[in-house]
Structure 1
Amino acid sequence: MNVSTIYYRDRSGIVITGRYLRTKHKDQALAPITSIRIGREPLYLSLALGLGILLFAWRFGDLLYLDEQLTMAAVACAPLTAGYSVASLQMGTYIHEKTMLWASYWTVRKIRDAIIEARRDFGDQAASAIIIDEHGH
């Protein structure tokens, strides 16, 4: 493993090397990381909001014109699309995770995969190390 190997880099300033995840505002060493999770909190909020708007349009549909119903359906789709597209990358130990960044779901997946690859390379290097006791055995 070469610690200067770059596993991921994008225009927004996110860089993953063999040792660090660097963002514009935070750096995180990869060695102590035991947990990497993709958070989908915006998805749940947007589901509630989008379904609420759709239920409102359905319930009061007899009082609305067709173009108003279609507008409400389009308005309901906007938060659903946005909520599906946004995710967070949460890293840390089993008990203590912190949010490292918010980005599109697909970007967060690429970053997570790059971190896993960097950790795998780090683990392979650590597994091949030879430990010699104080007697030289």
Structure 2
Amino acid sequence: MLLAGELDWDSNTIKVALLMTSHSLGTSGQEDATVISGITTPDECNASGYTAGGVTLTASAPTSNTGSNRGEADATDISWATLGNGSRQIAGMLIYKDVGGVWANGIPIAWVEFTSTINPGGSTLTVQWASGGILQVS
């Protein structure tokens, strides 16, 4: 999608959804899902304080890092305030291109698995992206 020119990082609506531990990402066949409905079990977060579909990224224009010989796509940090516990812990984030505001039609871009699962317990969950951007293409 990215290399085919179907993703315009700073003008398409890019969203981040929280997924819980029963997701099927990382299992055989899931890496080929072209839309979210093709993921057998997305297991989107159902906690209080979470809006279905996740949050919209405020993306910046991709940049060229000539020193590292790569392109970088970045966005402002994101957070979910007063995020309660869901029926399962949060395992990671699905970054996807929104298509018409319909979750099932969203196009997966990247899966970011947390190093350990999270139970927010009513606190604020903040994601601070790395200085090299969210995505890097060499």
**TM-score tier (shorter):** under 0.3
- Structure having the higher Rg: 1
> Which of the pair has the greater relative contact order for Cα pairs under 8 Å at 6+ separation?
2
- TM-score of the two chains, using structure 1 as the length reference: 0.25
- TM-score of the two chains, using structure 2 as the length reference: 0.25
